[in-house]
Each structure stands twice: as structure tokens, then as C-alpha cells.
Amino acid sequence: MAVKVDDSNFETEVLNSELPVLVDFWAPWCGPCQMMGPLINKIAKEYEGKAKVVKYDVQDNQEFAAKYGIQGIPAFKVFKGGEVVDEAVGAMPEDNIKKIIDNNL
């Protein structure tokens, strides 16, 4: 299951993580985001111990959405060592998401 992060723990969970982190920027009212939800949770289980997968609700949290220029959702960013190393926007197949994680392991 993907971990929920917000403005209060983003730095700890994402920027200071030892593992690469895939952040799913989403909102409850976003249809494509809802569609991606089960897939993101599945990927979180598969990558346990290799990468962290987290969800950031842009409706309730704006600080890091603004900082990283989130304009459209769902948006996915991979962080490694506190820096964005890869990103993608929009609903996409499982293989595409795995590829952006795998490229940064």
C-alpha cells in the first residue's frame, strides 16, 4: 500500500529517504487519479524494500505541489537523494510507471 504523505512529512518521507521514492500527486476528485490508485498500491507492494511509493493529495496540501510545479494530475515524480530524477504526467500503463522507477533504482 502506498504511504500517504502531506506537507508535514514530505521532507522526511521523500526528500530524506534512503530509497528512491515515486510520488503520486493526486486528488480525490480526479477520475484518472482514482483509476491509477489500485495500480499505485500494487506497485508499492512489488517495490517494497527497493523503492518507496507515496501518495500526495494536492487538494489538501499545496506546499510541495507548488514547489515542484504540479499543473496536471495525476503526476508522478521520482526522487532520489532529495532531487527529482524522473517524472511523468497522466494516467498510464503499469509498465510505464515501473520503467521510471526501474531507471532510478
User: What are the domain boundaries of the chain?
Assistant: 23-96
Give exposure, 70-98, as e/b (b: 16+ Cβ within 10 Å): beebbbbbbbeeeeeebbeeebbeeeebe
Mean pLDDT throughout 58-86? 97
Question: Strand 3-5 relative to strand 52-57: parallel, antiparallel, unpaired?
Answer: parallel
Distance CA 84, CA 91 (A): 19
Mean pLDDT throughout 30-59? 97
Average pLDDT, the chain: 97
Which of the listed CATH numbers 1.10.150.130, 3.30.750.210, 3.30.70.100, 3.40.30.10 matches domain 23-96?
A: 3.40.30.10
Residue 33 designated active-site: yes
Which residue bears the cell 495525476? 74
| pTM (predicted TM-score) | 0.97
Q: Looking at 14, 30, 44, 101, which residue is catalytic?
A: 30
Q: What percent of the chain is predicted at pLDDT more than 90?
A: 100
Distance CA 8, CA 98 (A): 27
Q: Looking at 5, 33, 40, 70, which residue is catalytic?
A: 33
Residue 9 designated active-site: no
